[in-house]
Amino acid sequence: MRAGKPRILKSTEILLWVYGVGLTGMLLPFSRELFKMITPLNLLFAALFLFWGRRPARQVIITGLIIAVASFFTEAIGTNTGKIFGVYFYGRTLGPALLNTPVIIGLNWFLLIYCTNVISRLLWERLSKGSAGSNKGLPESLFVILTGSLLMVVYDLFLEPAAMRLDMWSWECGVIPFRNYAGWFFFSALFHTVTRLWGEEEPNRRAVPLFAVQVGFFAAIDIYYFLVA
Asked if residues 71 and 84 have their Cβ atoms less than 8 Å apart, the reply is no
Digitized pLDDT (tens) for each residue of the chain, 229 residues in all = 444 444 556 889 999 999 999 999 999 999 999 999 999 999 999 999 999 999 999 999 999 999 999 999 999 999 999 999 999 999 999 999 999 999 999 999 999 999 999 999 999 999 988 665 545 688 999 999 999 999 999 999 999 999 999 999 999 999 999 999 999 999 999 999 999 999 999 999 999 999 999 999 999 999 999 999 6
Could you write out the DSSP letters of every residue in 156-205?
A: HHHHHHHHHHTTSEEEGGG---HHHHHHHHHHHHHHHHHHHHH---S--T
- The tally of domains found in the chain comes to 1
Give 182: exposed, middle or buried? Use CB within 10 Å, 0-12, 13-18, 19+: middle
pTM comes to 0.94
Task: Report DSSP state, residue 96.
Answer: -
At 88, is the secondary structure helix, strand, or coil?
strand
Asked if residues 108 and 43 have their Cβ atoms less than 8 Å apart, the reply is yes
Q: Which domain holds residue 202?
A: 4-228
Could you write out the DSSP letters of every residue in 36-50?
A: HHTHHHHHHHHHHHH
CA dist 46 and 43 (Å) reads: 5
Asked if residues 88 and 172 have their Cβ atoms less than 8 Å apart, the reply is yes
The pLDDT assigned to 220 comes to 98
CA dist 133 and 51 (Å) reads: 31
Give 224: exposed, middle or buried? Use CB within 10 Å, 0-12, 13-18, 19+: middle
